[in-house]
Structure 1
Amino acid sequence: MPLPQPAVVDGAEMDLSPVDLAPVELTPQDRTSRRGRNAVFSILLSLAVIAAVIHESRGIDLRRVSDMIPLTPGFWLIFAASYVVTPASEWLIFHRLWRIPASGMLALLRKKVYNELLLGYLGEAYFYTWARRRVALSAAPFGAVKDVAILSAITGNLVTLALLVIAVPYLGFDKLGIDGRVLTLSLGVILAISIGAMAFNRRVFTLPRAELWMIGRIHLARIFASTVLSALLWHIVLPDVTLSWWIYLATLRLLVSRLPLVPNKDLLFAGITVVVLGEARDIGALMALMAALILAAHLVLGAVIALNDLADPEKRA
């Protein structure tokens, strides 16, 4: 076995032996100090979630929401599936990458709550720290977490482009209710981001190409599942519109929601439904109901997470 060769640093030789390259073991005092800092951070994060729960709960009109909620169990089953479809798809991705355990689903639900209630991509930072502590990895997980997030955006952009190619010739700019210049600029932004990421994929992405394709396929399946589940929920609330029309409208909503530089997306979607269905529907109330239910789910899950963390912060540090 060849001996390690000395390295030259600023003109001086330095022997890089395997002992020198071995990771430094933390002392018990260092571990205690690190756990203490993590516990303090966990408490602060939990208090921030509780504050967000109290603040956001003021915007829910409980009386209006309760009057519109369907009583059928199927609605709640579909709603639960639509809520967890994104964390479930991410669990499948990271299970294939790292073999994360079933408890990783709870971490991904936390990630969703932190992103929605506190700050975008704070959930990714939390999941990164969770993975470093709980999963046996041969390398730092930051690159994989970054790749999954970037591929999620790119997949959504590609779906948006495909929907534009289909919708614009069929409906036209006028029926879509989008100014042609705004749509062109939005299309340019989407193309620039997607092409830039693909052109510099070796610098942008960390994972091998086979794993990137796997992640992209799961993201695509997640987008499809979310669209179909949304259509099913809308059909249960307003059953006088056929399910096929709701799937079509859910696809259009996905298109509208992902277009940059387009303001008042909910108002724009309500106008599109009038054009497509040929008559006014209670779309505004339906969108308000779904937004309120999703927010309520965030609040309940966030409150449970915060109270659970405050009960034993060191266990989650």
Structure 2
Amino acid sequence: MASRVYGSPGVQPANRLPSLAIRSSNWQRWLTAGISLALLVTILTRLDEFGFRQAFSVLPATPAFWLSFAAYYLALPGSEWLIFRRLWTLPASGIVPLLRKLVSNEVLLGYSGEAYFYAWARSHAKLVAAPFGAIKDVSILSALAGNLVTLAMLGLAWPLLANVAPQLHGKTIFVSTAVMLGSSMAILLFRGRLFSLDRAALRSVFSLHLLRLAVTTVLSGVMWHLALPEISIAWLVLLATLQLLVTRLPLIPSKDLVFANLAVFLVGHDNAVTMVVAMIAASILATHLLVGLMVALPDLLARRAA
């Protein structure tokens, strides 16, 4: 029996099928504990190198900025909670493994969070009997939505690149566009073999991904504007496009720091724009470290006590 699929007729919730319960195997326990340990070691290492005072000194102390920051940070795990809530009837506590998934992807290695979340879902068989297909489909649709939104932003930013960032106006953009178009076309071409969920569920998941990307793009612009009110619309569009391009890079952790480094490369070290972008990226990393400690340490202590 496959996992519960949103919109599929005749499929009963997994929690009504106790006979399908899957016991957590040793490899699942070792995987979740290993990711938690690796996350904790990495966080403690980076905490020793991180300058919190510098990160927060140039950012505004207004409630509007930090509310936008919090909404930006929680948009991805929040949207994924809504998705898996519909697919699996995920409880409110399911936000915790989704936060760990986010931090693992950003602090350790891209897609390490998916590996953890799969192991977590397998160990909670009352929620879902076969989670792999749903997790795979959600990840593929996230990539597809990201590609499409990035291409749309590239089209919007193209007239501005020649004046604001001429080094990006040419081969670099064409190569990036070709890669995104090729991967998106491949997903659409082989969708019959790639996806496990039904069409209604796929549409719902894809719509939530698009909404989340639109919200985070707007929130990024709001944060930059609040931190630097004199920033032009051209720079807001360019930064949003560059940020989306960086998120398309696979298997790279700390994409916000990569984005900040690219901004420094584009406009120089002394520009106020790069300072604000770098400090927001540093604040996001600091939040990753704090959230990672909060979600990884209790799990390791519980396993040690057991």
Q: Same fold (TM over 0.5)?
A: yes
Once the two structures are superposed, the pairs formed by residues 119-158 of structure 1 within 5 Å of their partners are: 119-134=109-124, 136=126, 139-158=129-148
Deviations 1:263-309 (A, max 9, x none): x85465468779xxxxx850111111111111111111111222211
Q: Choose the corresponding residue for 2:172, options 182, 194, 200.
A: 182
Q: Which residue of 2 aligns with 1:171?
A: 160
Count of residues in correspondence between the two structures:
279
Q: Quick one: structure 1 residues 268 and 91, their matched pair in 2 at CA, closer, same or farther if it must change by over 3 Å? A: same
Q: What code does the residue aligned with 2:291 have?
A: L
Q: Choose the corresponding residue for 1:48, options 38, 42, 51.
A: 38
Q: What code does the residue aligned with 1:92 have?
A: L
Aligned-residue RMSD, C-alpha: 3.1
Once the two structures are superposed, the pairs formed by residues 185-224 of structure 1 within 5 Å of their partners are: 185-224=175-214
Is 1:227–1:250's contact at 8 Å kept on the other side of the alignment?
no
Q: What code does the residue aligned with 2:180 have?
A: I
Is 2:105–2:113's contact at 8 Å kept on the other side of the alignment?
yes
The higher radius of gyration belongs to: 1
1:106 counterpart = 2:96: yes
Structure 1 length-normalised TM: 0.76
Structure 2 length-normalised TM: 0.79
Deviations 1:114-133 (A, max 9, x none): 11122211111111122223
Q: Which residue of 2 aligns with 1:257?
A: 246
Once the two structures are superposed, the pairs formed by residues 225-240 of structure 1 within 5 Å of their partners are: 225-240=215-230
Q: Quick one: structure 1 residues 185 and 38, their matched pair in 2 at CA, closer, same or farther if it must change by over 3 Å? A: closer
Q: Quick one: structure 1 residues 44 and 55, their matched pair in 2 at CA, closer, same or farther if it must change by over 3 Å? A: same
Identity of aligned residues (%): 41
Q: Which residue of 2 aligns with 1:83?
A: 73
Q: Which residue of 2 aligns with 1:65?
A: 55
Deviations 1:31-50 (A, max 9, x none): 6xx67665554443332122
Q: Quick one: structure 1 residues 132 and 287, their matched pair in 2 at CA, closer, same or farther if it must change by over 3 Å? A: same
Structure 1 SS opposite 2:135: helix
Deviations 1:134-157 (A, max 9, x none): 253564110110111111111111
Q: What code does the residue aligned with 2:53 have?
A: R
Structure 2 SS opposite 1:134: coil
Alpha-carbon separation, structure 2, partners of 1:205 and 1:220: 18
Q: Quick one: structure 1 residues 198 and 107, their matched pair in 2 at CA, closer, same or farther if it must change by over 3 Å? A: same
1:299 counterpart = 2:280: no
Which runs of no fewer than 5 residues in structure 2 stay unpaired?
A: 1-18, 251-257
Is 1:186–1:260's contact at 8 Å kept on the other side of the alignment?
no
Is 1:234–1:246's contact at 8 Å kept on the other side of the alignment?
no
Per the TM alignment, residue 255 of structure 1 is displaced from its structure 2 partner at its CA by 4.6
Alpha-carbon separation, structure 2, partners of 1:117 and 1:271: 23
Q: Quick one: structure 1 residues 229 and 259, their matched pair in 2 at CA, closer, same or farther if it must change by over 3 Å? A: same
Is 1:232–1:246's contact at 8 Å kept on the other side of the alignment?
no
